[in-house]
Amino acid sequence: MNNRDSMAKTTHIAAISIPAFSHQASIVEFCKRLVHLHHHFHVTCIFPTIDAPLPATLTLLKSLPSNINYTFLPPINKKDLPEDAPSAVQIQLAVSKSMPHFQQALGSLLSTMSLVALIADPFANEALEIAKEFKLLSYIYFPPSAMTLSLFLHLPALHQQVSCEYRDHKEAIEIPGCVPIQGRDLPEHFQNRSSLAYKLILERCKRLSLAHGFLVNSFSKVEEGSERALQEHNRANSTNSNNSGVYLIGPIVQTGSSNEPKGSECVKWLENQKANSVLYVSFGSGGTLSQKQINELAFGLELSGEKFLWVVRAPSDSADGAYVGASSDDPLQFLPNGFLERTKGSGFVLPSWAPQTQILGHVSTGGFLTHCGWNSALESIVLGVPMVAWPLFAEQRTNAVLLTEGLKVALRPKFNDHGIAEREEIAKVVKGLMVGEEGDLIRGRIEKLRDAAAEALEEHGSSTRALYQFGTQMESFVGHS
């Protein structure tokens, strides 16, 4: 498929992300795949920033192929953003403030090359209006699931249909092509309809119809129903004559940076454990727990008697506390007294960060307690690791419903009325996943999905075909304009 004429004229594309590492990493990996398949494509990635570029992104950008460039927009000062706003709101406001700079950057690119299209993150979709002014084709690259995209496209209608807070809505909410979902499991930005967060998300959802098409980080076998519903919605509602549809082009996951130390301490520790015996515990690049919940999780892991490898962060009252400003405190000081000594033989605790793909890919890792960020969920599927679903913020509750009720590849602990998962419940769910009968069934299902994910990315697989079709469709529009 990719034996294209090497003399083909270069096709220039711009891409814009948001100042959140998980989104930046995802769009960079997508661009790498795009230029690998369409050799004559050239992409310029544009990154809005808060204060300064993210160090993890700078590391990632060191390994770009020659046909991907990048530029950072002038930073937005964090002091100019509302201090008490959730990080998702701060990020979106920073992107809005960056739009004049983005317009200049796009104009500058157009003065030096014949740019044909813009690919935008859904939370930077004000850029679609600027693309329209410049007469560019525009697409959304959607890092979360197809279920979440279906929900976003359905939100303006849902907003009219439901008058109360979604969490108080008695019936399950039906999203086209998706497993029914309780209102409390809709994304956190939906949970207070009078908030700025909800107003921003509703605006962005209404603006999605400006896009000529959608590139979704998922694959057909994992979200067949959502894919069909999205195609139907797109045909019925598109305002664009150049509409080119919905492409499931994933799973796009980080393959692990070449800068990661291969023999890190935790990997050495894993070498000495039995196959499938270790539960990996991590809440992603932004997730944090309260002090009370850290205590309960520690005691729960200890009580389970199972082996664990835990990435610990300093506590925060905000579930996404590590997103915009990580704590400089040593996280290990917040663990219960004596915990490290008591679990010395059975547990390995790391402060703040771990080489996730190396750990999930290790033969000793048999489970993953995850915050259900879509990047992490996909990594777990790609590497065939059963999950404990512990959503914290953003659309993670929605992902948890897909993983537990739709795909049935995860167990989900119950939380008490104060929003805390207690130690006995944690121990029960951990044992259920690692050594229980239900855990065995989950392992069988996720291994089938692992194989389907690998097939989707093969030369004639569904995702490779979709990405190929996207490129040729886009060029046919350009050719006819």
Residue 15, beta-bridge partner list: 45, 119
Q: Which amino acid is at 54?
A: L
Q: What does the angle CA 16 – CA 136 – CA 129 come to, to the nearest 5 degrees?
A: 65
Q: Is 344 exposed, middle or buried (0-12, 13-18, 19+ CB in 10 A)?
A: exposed
Tokens read off for 421: 């998962």
Catalytic residue among 12, 38, 101, 121: 121
Catalytic residue among 23, 38, 101, 212: 23
Alpha-carbon distance 124 to 266, whole Å? 37
**Catalytic residue at 451?**
no
Nearest to 187 by CA among 413, 415, 396, 406: 396
Tokens read off for 224: 């067949």
Distance from CA of residue 380 to its chain's centroid?
A: 12
Strands (E) in 303-437, as ranges, are 307-312, 347-351, 365-370, 387-389, 410-411
**Catalytic residue at 121?**
yes
- Residues whose CB is less than 8 angstroms from the CB of residue 351 and which lie 6 or more positions away in sequence, other chains included: 311, 312, 313, 330, 331, 332
φ, ψ for residue 453, nearest 5 deg: -65, -45
| Catalytic residue positions, numbered | 23, 121
